[in-house]
Amino acid sequence: MTRAGRPRGFVEAQVIGGARDVFWLRGYAASSLRDLTEATGLLPGSIYSSFGGKRDLFVRTLEDYAAGARQAADELRAAAPALPAIRAFLVGAVDAARVSPGRGCMLGNTAVELLPEDDTAREIVRKAFHDLEDGLAAALVNAQQDGEIRSDLDACPHARQLLALVQGLHVTARAEADPHRLVDAVDAALDALRPIV
């Protein structure tokens, strides 16, 4: 086996990361090849020959982001105590809007921008949402076992509620200047789950 040829001048993970930040901030359609070349250091020809074009590069970055979401779900599942971890996950959406305005969650952004017509992206987002929902459900069960929340509640639908809540926080945070109001909303949602004293 000959192993000849010019070596690649880039680290793939860095290119994916740079492109992901562009798509994350601007969305798919509004990200031009020029934006991508500036963010990755690659020229259009290299993007085309190495990844197959803008669309394929986007799918790669979305998969990269979804892998991060799965990791967050695993951390939720393993966290102890569970309730503070759930709260940190929700408040994280509010903090992200403050630290990095205009980005939100790339899964939700993709769902809003191009999910009716794009089956590939839909499947990635659907699976990532399910991973997060499962992680939240496991954390809720752990919290129930530790007496942090009411044990008479069904964990699965509440996990779906919290997933929708965190996606909604990413959306409303874009128009809400005061982060405290959103943290209050998080605490309201979690207080309603606590046992009555």
Partner DNA sequence: ACTGTTCTTGATTGGTCGGCCAAAAATATG
Partner DNA sequence: CATATTTTTGGCCGACCAATCAAGAACAGT
Q: Which is nearer to a second copy, 49 or 100 (CB)?
A: 100
Q: What does the buried/exposed string (b/e) look like for 180-193 if buried means 16 or more CB atoms within 10 Å of the residue's CB?
A: eebbebbeebbeeb
Residues 23-42 that bind DNA (CB under 7 A): 31-34, 42
Q: Retrieve residue 14's tokens.
A: 């860095």
Residue 6 binds to DNA (criterion: CB under 7 A): yes
> Cβ 152 to a second copy, closest distance in Å?
9
Build a one-symbol-per-residue string for 23-52: x at contacts with a second copy by CB under 8 A, - elsewhere: ----x-xx----------------------
User: Which letter does DSSP use for residue 41 in this model?
Assistant: S
The upper half-sphere exposure of residue 125, i.e. CA atoms within 13 Å in the direction of its Cβ, equals 20
Residue 182 partner contact from a second copy, DNA, none using kind-dependent CB cut-offs of 5 to 8 Å: a second copy
Cis upstream peptide for 81 (omega within 30°): yes
Classify the phi-psi angles of 8: left when phi > 0, otherwise alpha if psi is within -120 to 50, otherwise beta.
beta
Residue 44 binds to DNA (criterion: CB under 7 A): yes
Residues 130-189 that bind a second copy (CB under 8 A): 150, 153-154, 156-158, 160-161, 163-169, 171-172, 174-177, 181-182, 184-189
Q: How many of the chain's residues bind a second copy (CB under 8 A)?
A: 51
